[in-house]
Amino acid sequence: MTKISAYYDSPVGTILIEAMDDAITALLFKDEKKIQPFANSNTSNDELIHKCILQLNEYFEGTRRQFDLPFQQNGTSFQQKIWLALTQIPYGQTISYMELSKRTGDVKAIRAVGTTNGKNQLSIVVPCHRVIGSNGTLTGYGGGLWRKRWLLEHEAKIAHGVKTLF
């Protein structure tokens, strides 16, 4: 199948959305302001991108806490296990890289967990922004720490009515 893409203008900057084989394959922050109108040509991937945009709108409006989208990213079985575990972190909550290592069965794999977290191509939908340092500090985020902070504060405000302080 053909890969299609669209740019989404979010409150935290431009997000490149890609779909292929009836699954969202990437949601990546882009610093350039390259916005092109999304033209629906009635293919299943176009419908999927449209659904993704609608769900992102709901997320940023505070009315969506979980995404209902087929998504796929290529990786090893270990990476797939970590990415699946990320989707199980509740909205508005955070866990440490150490806790994520424990949840996935190998406390000694903390560095591999961090590396895999950094290779996540599905920002927000696979919520790698919910993983923080063991001491509670914000650490590493491909989209920039300011975006990670914004996403965490947005979710905390919606889920708990509070603004987190990082």
pLDDT digits (tens, 9 = 90+) for 48-61: 999 999 999 999 99
At 51, which helix (H) or strand (E)?
A: helix 44-61
Identify which of 131, 142, 158 has the alpha carbon closest to the alpha carbon of residue 13: 142
Which residues, 6+ apart, have CB-to-CB distance to 114 below 8 Å? 97, 140
Pairing of strands 23-30, 13-20: antiparallel
pLDDT > 80? residue 119: yes
Residue 128 known to be catalytic: yes
Structure tokens at 41: 């040509």
Question: In this structure, which amino acid lies at residue 9?
Answer: D
Residue 7, pLDDT score? 95
Q: Identify the burial level of 52 via C-beta atoms within 10 angstroms of its C-beta, where 0-12 means exposed, 13-18 middle and 19 or more buried.
A: buried
Among the listed residues 19, 52, 82, 128, the single catalytic one is 128
Domains and CATH numbers, the chain: 4-61 (3.30.160), 77-160 (1.10.10.10)
Global pTM reads 0.90
- CB contact set of 27 (below 8 Å; sequence gap of 6+): 15, 16, 17, 18, 52, 121, 122, 123, 124, 125
Higher-confidence position of 163 and 31: 31
